[in-house]
Structure formats: structure tokens, C-alpha cells
Amino acid sequence: MFNFFKKSKSKGNEVKAPIKGNLIPLSEVSDDVFSQKMLGDGFAVKPTGQEVVAPVSGTVTTLFPTKHAIGIKTAEGLEVLIHLGIDTVELKGKPFKLFVEQGDSVKAGDKLAEMDIADVADHGLDNTVMVVYTNMDLLKEVKDVDPRPVEAGDDAQEIAFN
């Protein structure tokens, strides 16, 4: 248990913050689908920035037509969903600009999208960005996040594969 810190430096299974803002546990998200981890475990960021980056390296597998969600599959097969805001599907893509296409290879930290967080808030919607691991069977551990300010691309959460 006490050599956890040594492991994290050598193993490098850190998932990055997808946007500048305040890192929070997924359990603190206002939508039960996320806070109750119905889609899987992960973390969230209450954004103060606009640029959305890849939290992991992999292949873009899913781009919703409404631009509010992006799926990435890692080399290990982990499926990671980046969900931009809560109920933002209703905005039909208006506050989002995508910079990737389905099938693109991305590295952690690569720019995926821009999100007009003020526009989302102006519509009375929550602009929190969630990162969710949808096939949890591949993971043996998802470390709790330490709530703190983060920059896009900062280490946000450590995961361990089976």
C-alpha cells in the first residue's frame, strides 16, 4: 500500500484533465447517470477554459452529431467517454467546435474540441466535463481524485489495468 507512489511514477497510467478548471470526483456531478457511475467510473472538471484535449492516447471511435460527446479507445482497449456538459445534447452542437474526426489517432493532450462554456451556462445548463471509463471490466483500480485546479492535459486520475 505504501509503495503506491513509486508505482504511479513507473507505471504511468495517468488519465489527463480534458479541460482547464476544477477537478472533482464523478460522485459530485449533478446528473445521477454520472454521479451514480451508471456509465462507468471516472472524474469530472468544472471548466474555466474552452479547449478540450484528449485525456488518453488512442483512436477516436465516437463523435456524436450534436458534438457534446467524444469516445476514444486506447491501445489497451479501454473505452473513454468525454462528455461536454450535462443535457447539452439539447443545444444541437451550437457551443462546440470539433477538431478531430472518427478514426483519428490522438495522443493524450491533443486538442479535440472547443466548448463555449459561457454559452452553455447562458442556456441554464451545467458545463461540467465528465471523463468516464465505459468498460470497467478492463480496470482493477480507479484511484479517487484529489479535488484541485487543473490545466488541460494535467494528470487527473490514476488507473490500473487488470
Is 83 one of the catalytic residues? yes
**d(C-alpha 23, C-alpha 120), whole Å:** 19
Closest CA to 57 of 8, 18, 105: 105
Instruction: Please check whether residue 104 is in contact with residue 93, taking contact to mean a CB–CB distance below 8 angstroms.
Output: no
In which residue are the cell numbers 468544472 written? 46
**d(C-alpha 65, C-alpha 15), whole Å:** 25
Residue 32's CB: how many other CB atoms inside 10 A?
A: 9
Torsion, Cα 108 114 115 118, to 10 degrees, reads 130
Pick the catalytic residue: 20, 52, 83, 85? 83
**d(C-alpha 123, C-alpha 50), whole Å:** 16
Active site residue ranges: 83
